[in-house]
Amino acid sequence: MGVKTYILKRTAYSVALIFIVVTLNFIIFRLMPGDPYAVMIEKYIMTPEMIEATLRKWGLDRPIWEQYYLYIVNLFQFRFGLSHRTYEPVENEILARLPNTLALVGTSVIASTILRVLIGIYTASRRGRLVDSIIVSASVVLNSIPTFWFGMLLLLFLAFDLGLFPAHGTITPPPYTPKDPWAYLLDYLWHLALPFAALTAIITGGGVIRTRNLVLDSLSQDYVITARAKGIPERDVLYKHVFKNIQLPIVTQAAMSIARCVGGAMTTETVFTWYGMGRYTFESISNLDYPALQGIFFVICLLVITSNFICDMIYGFLDPRVKYGGE
């Protein structure tokens, strides 16, 4: 299997996945209890002509497959309709919030991947000692803690009680307007700190054990024994030889952690009133803002599937079996 076939295969798979998700989305909103336009017809007493005109206006008089086609076309042009709550186009609302979510999820995924690897290797090299058992227990405990609750604790004690961090939003509200872009960035990062810490801690927690087990597996392999026999320092054995050999599963884990991180961000953003997609989801749920939910769902799925695709590409790049063909 060459690089080209690999890329093509993964691309086809991702596109298929997007279509499945999109179709699911379409079906879900058709299955919704109650008629989407019955509300309107009930609200304003309508003549049959008016009903017909309304149905035509929203394209509801067309056969279902044509509706589906229009839906797909609109979706891929990022036209999600008007929000039930603000009467703004949903895509504008999403566009305003997406960068914040990307910042939160991106930093958390990268930081947790690095932490997971470092801590995993470290604790594997200290196997059986006190540090090892402490880290493993901490990892098990962190794995069973709900992300948002951890965030709530941080918010309660560090932001509200001690006042070390801001309690709301992504930047300090208007009276404080930094002209200097660096000051602005600093303010942003200061607000990012707590949600980032909450998300990273929990995402890292569960993965440490898996990395540790990977390293332990590698440590019993022949090449490690050879390397040690050659007198290579233990540090180099761990961080050069072993690391190189566990790269692939680490990439797979990172890909899996993206989905978890996006899920975690939805609640964490709500906790910290972080102006992102998760917070928007919460607002849309409480206001039954269906067009917004539909748009959010599409964008998040796109985000997860795209990042998985990128991970697949990195995997392909790292895996010699893909690069040089063969199985």
Burial string for 45-59 (b: 16+ CB within 10 Å, else e) reads eeeeeeeeebeeeee
Backbone angles phi, psi at 82, to 5 degrees: -95, 140
Our CB check for other proteins shows the closer of 51 and 67 to be: 67
Q: Establish if 112 lies at the interface with other proteins (CB under 8 A).
A: no
Q: Angle CA(55)–CA(78)–CA(102) in degrees, nearest 5?
A: 140
CB atoms within 10 A of CB 282: 16
Question: Least CB distance from residue 156 to other proteins, whole Å?
Answer: 6
The residue behind tokens 């961080």 is 239
Piece of 64-72, 73-81, 189-197, 263-271 that binds other proteins (CB under 8 A): 263-271
Question: Least CB distance from residue 50 to other proteins, whole Å?
Answer: 27
With CB under 8 A as the rule, give the number of residues binding other proteins.
53
Q: Which of residues 9-38 bind other proteins (CB under 8 A)?
A: 17, 20-21, 24-25, 28-29, 31-33
Among 144, 176, 222, 327, binds other proteins (CB under 8 A): 144
Piece of 46-54, 64-72, 246-254, 257-265 that binds other proteins (CB under 8 A): 257-265
* Contact flags string 282-311 toward other proteins, x per CB under 8 A: x--xx-x-x--xx-xx--xx--xx--x---
Q: How many angstroms separate the CA atoms of 271 and 153, rounded?
A: 10
Question: Least CB distance from residue 32 to other proteins, whole Å?
Answer: 5
Question: Residue 282: how many CA atoms within 13 Å on its side-chain side?
Answer: 17
- Helix 147-154 to helix 243-271 angle (10° resolution) is 70
- Specify the length of the chain in residues: 327
8 A C-beta contact, residue 94 and residue 277 = yes
Q: Which residues contact 24 (CB under 8 A, 6 or more apart)?
A: none
Dihedral class, residue 130 (left if φ above 0, else alpha if ψ from -120 to 50, else beta): alpha
8 A C-beta contact, residue 253 and residue 265 = no
Our CB check for other proteins shows the closer of 104 and 305 to be: 305
Our CB check for other proteins shows the closer of 46 and 159 to be: 159
Among 7, 216, 248, 313, binds other proteins (CB under 8 A): 216
Our CB check for other proteins shows the closer of 29 and 184 to be: 29
8 A C-beta contact, residue 274 and residue 200 = no
8 A C-beta contact, residue 218 and residue 224 = yes
8 A C-beta contact, residue 285 and residue 293 = yes
Q: Which of residues 40-59 bind other proteins (CB under 8 A)?
A: none
Question: Least CB distance from residue 185 to other proteins, whole Å?
Answer: 26
* Contact flags string 158-197 toward other proteins, x per CB under 8 A: --xx-----x------------------------------
Piece of 44-52, 76-84, 141-149, 243-251 that binds other proteins (CB under 8 A): 141-149
Q: Under the rule (CB under 8 A), what is the footprint of other proteins?
A: 17, 20-21, 24-25, 28-29, 31-33, 127, 140-141, 143-150, 152-153, 155-157, 160-161, 167, 213, 216, 259, 262-263, 266-267, 270-271, 281-282, 285-286, 288, 290, 293-294, 296-297, 300-301, 304-305, 308
